[in-house]
Structure 1
């Protein structure tokens, strides 16, 4: 029958090679289907909080204990203009979302997501659009989220009701195509 390969595995919970980084159990949320609208956010739902986020869904996520959540997702971020998702919701533009062929209302954006994730005690990994945008838009989002005050984008955040910087520490460059590249860089850093 030829040579056959055999494998053997020994599992011993007392034998530990290393700690498992809790970020391994992270997740992401994307403006796709019912993930955001009708999933985590549904203003008219009887269990929605004052901001429109469903507390039944939040309770389940808290129970799981998701350490970090990437936003705004995968394919969606490749065509997303982050500026559309900040400021007064009534003034936000509705855009044709080409990845999923839907109309994006931009009711949920950067500040709403960050507030929601922090309520869940999850860290935020903010994704930047490197599909249709570039480094300049990414730099502006970083300034909006993290710079204290005195610059255009930090003062814009303040005018939107967020006096304190969000302090985002983990950033995703683009979407899945860059993940293996990013992982290799992170591994070389440790």
Structure 2
């Protein structure tokens, strides 16, 4: 039995805050070193950041990135990552059992965030440290001038404040391609919808500048699902769509097969009058963009 969803273009529930589509970078494995930062890589820029990685991130419009962790931050001294790189201490990193060189620290990451066109959600160490260290970090990053830590920031080469946001937890990061499929909902208006779907089907319908985005997820391991979206207040006659799907629940990308699970054009939908009917295979996510009036 297929489901029918009624979509009311003129009834808006709320604006979808783009920050819920945020991500994070942690000093973990190859996320920083040999990930975003790899000075000897042929595509590294003059700062050591990989341009190919930056290009991929910029395609996603990532609005917010938490840094520097994660478990990592629970034993991290932010002061280790400021000042001349050659004078920074090498520390045992106990969360992930590695040695932290502090080659990438606060100033380097702020430069990376600027290149990635994203804001920084700075995590603070409330594990081995506490509120006082967090207060000093905030003063270093955000106070314009005239205090010990703001002047120290200026001595280290950042005349203007970083204006960071602070926090310790945020939404879990989806995969790269899911980010790509859901970026159309950032700062869009969440439309009022109603109708019954099976418990393994989720959807989001939003509007932005006369463009409607419909994202649908079919969690079922073996059943395809058909959903009709009725848009009585909207005039349209075409759409474009993409899907992320795989034959196995544990399918994943590897260095040997980086496109095993990747976004593809999707055409299993039909438009009739003011209705769009979508059929999703099991284990799939799709986004459909509709432009009209």
**Could you say which TM-score interval applies, normalised by the shorter chain?**
0.7 to 0.9
Task: Give, in angstroms, the shift of residue 36 of structure 1.
Answer: 0.4
The answer as to 2:71 corresponding to 1:75 is yes
**Deviation string, structure 1 residues 94-129 (Cα, Å, up to 9, x no partner):** 000000000000011111111111121101111110
Secondary structure at the aligned position of 1:10 is classed as strand
The answer as to 2:12 corresponding to 1:10 is no
* TM-score of the superposed pair, with normalisation by structure 2: 0.55
- Aligned pair count reads 167
Aligned to 1:138: 134
In structure 2, runs of 5+ residues without a counterpart are 171-293
Q: 1:123 to 1:133 in 2, by over 3 A?
A: same
Q: Which runs of 4+ in 1 moved over 6 A?
A: none
CA distance in 2, matches of 1:25, 1:9: 27
Structure ranking higher in strand proportion: 2
* TM-score of the superposed pair, with normalisation by structure 1: 0.83
The aligned runs of 1:113-124 (5 Å cut-off) are 113-124=109-120
Aligned to 1:186: none
**Deviation string, structure 1 residues 156-183 (Cα, Å, up to 9, x no partner):** 1111111111112x211x457xxxxxxx
CA RMSD of aligned residues (A): 1.6
Structure ranking higher in helix proportion: 1
Instruction: Confirm or deny: 8 A CA contact 1:69 1:123 kept in the other structure.
Output: yes
The counterpart of 1:158, out of the listed 127, 145, 154, is 154
In structure 1, runs of 5+ residues without a counterpart are 1-7, 177-190
Aligned to 1:112: 108
The counterpart of 2:49, out of the listed 40, 48, 53, is 53
Q: 1:43 to 1:20 in 2, by over 3 A?
A: same
Aligned to 2:85: 89
Secondary structure at the aligned position of 1:64 is classed as coil
**Deviation string, structure 1 residues 18-39 (Cα, Å, up to 9, x no partner):** 2211111100000000000011
Structure with larger RCO (C-alpha < 8 A, sep 6+): 2
Q: 1:149 to 1:55 in 2, by over 3 A?
A: same
CA distance in 2, matches of 1:94, 1:9: 59
Task: Give, in angstroms, the shift of residue 13 of structure 1.
Answer: 7.1
Aligned to 1:171: 166
CA distance in 2, matches of 1:83, 1:23: 27
CA distance in 1, matches of 2:114, 2:8: 33
